Structure 1
Amino acid sequence: MSKSRAFLKWAGGKYKLADQIAARLPEAQRLIEPFVGAGSVFLNTDFEHYQLSDINPDLIGLYNMLKHKPDQFIADAATLFIDANNDKQVYYGLRAEFNQSTSVWDRSLLFLYMNRFGYNGLCRYNKKGGFNVPFGSYKKPYFPEKELRFFAEKAQRATFHCEGYAESMARAQQGDVIYCDPPYLPLSNTANFTSYATGGFSLDDQALLADCAAAAAARGVPTLISNHDTPVARKLYHESTMETIQVHRSISQTANGRKKVNELFALYR
């Protein structure tokens, strides 16, 4: 089966690891993903049903709009992917429009536009909740029509929820399997773990996630978590069966800033 790319650019996306993850997921009727992100695991697995969650309402809003009105969404989105919109001032104008809008439809279209025209496909908000990723200065941003259509078709098997990982995992029942892709632990031991958080995901969250995984497994729902292979991760996931693989990861802007990093898979069952 050829691999399917997500239509969104996404930091920490799992496209390259999708096969490795799929091979480690126990058989089930439904896959639950509490950290769906761009959806590479969803797109490259074949379960009867999916429950896909994220705490970002713009991401989940976009997925629901695309699922329910794919043709209209793709047609409207295409009107934003024009040369005139690949301009710094136009981008900041549309970003301001996004930040002032309360329409889920309009925000969804602009979220896709900013993901492709903004810097590095980043998704970042300021303390007031305003999207603040700068202009990307790309020659010609790609309009992912093929990827949007594939996602929309597969989304008919999925339900999308804007909620935290604990709520998402609490819904699991026998016949489900859970895959968790949380914000990763820092590779460096010099990081201050008491204050460490990516997008508000603290060390307490990492520990609670491990507890939720153990609780789900106790209810008969196997759970797979991926993270950096660090001493902290191994301590957190001590109740699981752990496996390590090496992955190439960019750690800086330069091409020679790529190195092999150990990725940990922790399976609770």
Structure 2
Amino acid sequence: MKKQRAFLKWAGGKFTLADAIRRVLPPGEKLIEPFVGAGSVFLNTDYDKYLLNDINPDLINLYRTLKRRPRTYINDARDLFVPETNTADAFYALRAQFNASSDIYERSLLFLYLNRHGYNGLCRYNASGGFNVPFGRYKKPYFPEAELEFFAEKSSKATFTCEPFQDSFRRARKGNVVYCDPPYLPLSPTASFTSYAARGFSFEEQALLAKKAKHASRYRHIPVLLSNHDTDEARHLYQGAELTTLQVSRFISQNGATRRKVAELLAYFPAGGVVLQPNAEPSTGIIKKGRKSK
């Protein structure tokens, strides 16, 4: 199947890992994603149904709006991708409009605009919940019309929810498959979590997620696949899983000198919790990860 790009730029997006993830995911009636993000796994798999969740209400409201009113949304969003809106003054005025608005449709339009015009495609909020990513200064931000159309069409198979990841696990039933792509564990003690919503994702939440995955696998016979950085902490949390390591070329910081390959981990807990070789060396693959979608 042809690989499909997400219409949003997204830190930790899974476009380049989609093939590797698809090879590990088992068949099932429905794929549940408690951390859907930009939706690359959704876009590049073929389940009959999807339950797509994220804790960020702006993201989920955009997806629901696009599903309900695809043509109207795409036409209105296109009007924001013109030279007049690609200036610092226009960006900060529209960012202020977004932060002041409580209208779901208006916020959905502006969320796409801010994502494509903001610095590095970041999604970041301050402690008060205000979107605070600076202007990106791109020559001509790309309007992802084809990507929006594909997402809208495929969303007929999807239900979108905005709730804690624990609730997504409660919704899972035998015959479903769960894929979890949480905010990653930091690579070093000084690194920080990327804040996809108004708050971060703590180590305690990482541990709770691993516990939920093991419980679903062993006692509810629901297979669960998780992605994370390949760190000692991750391997400890995911003890008993089938592990696959991937070397991913990623830009670790804004400093070009620190751009290097990073080890990522796929941890698979099969239905029934049975792992044939829990202590086996994980398989490895090399994935080159470039810049985000255009």
Q: TM-score, normalised by structure 2?
A: 0.87
Question: Number of residue pairs matched?
Answer: 265
Residue 222 in 1 paired to residue 212 in 2?
Answer: no
**Other-structure match for 2:290:** none
Residue 213 in 1 paired to residue 191 in 2?
Answer: no
**Other-structure match for 1:90:** 90
Deviations 1:37-65 (A, max 9, x none): 00000000000000000000000000000
**Other-structure match for 2:6:** 6
**Other-structure match for 2:235:** 234
**Other-structure match for 1:160:** 160
3-state DSSP class of the match of 1:59?
helix
Preserved CA contact (<8 Å) 1:245 1:264:
yes
Preserved CA contact (<8 Å) 1:10 1:38:
yes
**Other-structure match for 1:259:** 260
**Other-structure match for 1:18:** 18
Work out the percentage of aligned pairs sharing the same amino acid. Answer: 60
Alignment RMSD? 1.3
Preserved CA contact (<8 Å) 2:228 2:264:
yes
Deviations 1:52-101 (A, max 9, x none): 00000000000000001000000110111111000111111111111111
Q: Any residues of structure 2 matched to 1:51-66 within 5 Å, and which?
A: 51-66=51-66
**Other-structure match for 1:133:** 133
**Other-structure match for 1:123:** 123
Residue 249 in 1 paired to residue 250 in 2?
Answer: yes
One-letter amino acid of the counterpart of residue 8, structure 2: L
One-letter amino acid of the counterpart of residue 61, structure 2: G
In 2, the alpha carbon distance for the partners of 1:191 and 1:256 equals 18
Preserved CA contact (<8 Å) 2:184 2:193:
no
3-state DSSP class of the match of 1:201?
coil
3-state DSSP class of the match of 2:244?
strand
In 2, the alpha carbon distance for the partners of 1:137 and 1:197 equals 25
1:256 CA displacement:
4.8
Preserved CA contact (<8 Å) 2:31 2:50:
yes
Q: Which structure 2 segments of 5+ residues have no match?
A: 271-294
In 2, the alpha carbon distance for the partners of 1:142 and 1:229 equals 33
Preserved CA contact (<8 Å) 2:35 2:53:
yes
Preserved CA contact (<8 Å) 1:197 1:203:
no
Q: Which structure 1 segments of 5+ residues have no match?
A: none
In 2, the alpha carbon distance for the partners of 1:191 and 1:81 equals 38
Deviations 1:92-145 (A, max 9, x none): 111111111111000000000000111111111111111111111110001000
In 1, the alpha carbon distance for the partners of 2:133 and 2:260 equals 27
Choose 141-150 or 251-260, whichever is displaced more. 251-260
One-letter amino acid of the counterpart of residue 170, structure 2: A
One-letter amino acid of the counterpart of residue 26, structure 1: P
In 1, the alpha carbon distance for the partners of 2:120 and 2:193 equals 21
Structure 1 runs of 4+ with >6 Å offset? none
3-state DSSP class of the match of 2:263?
strand
3-state DSSP class of the match of 1:46?
coil
Preserved CA contact (<8 Å) 2:186 2:193:
no
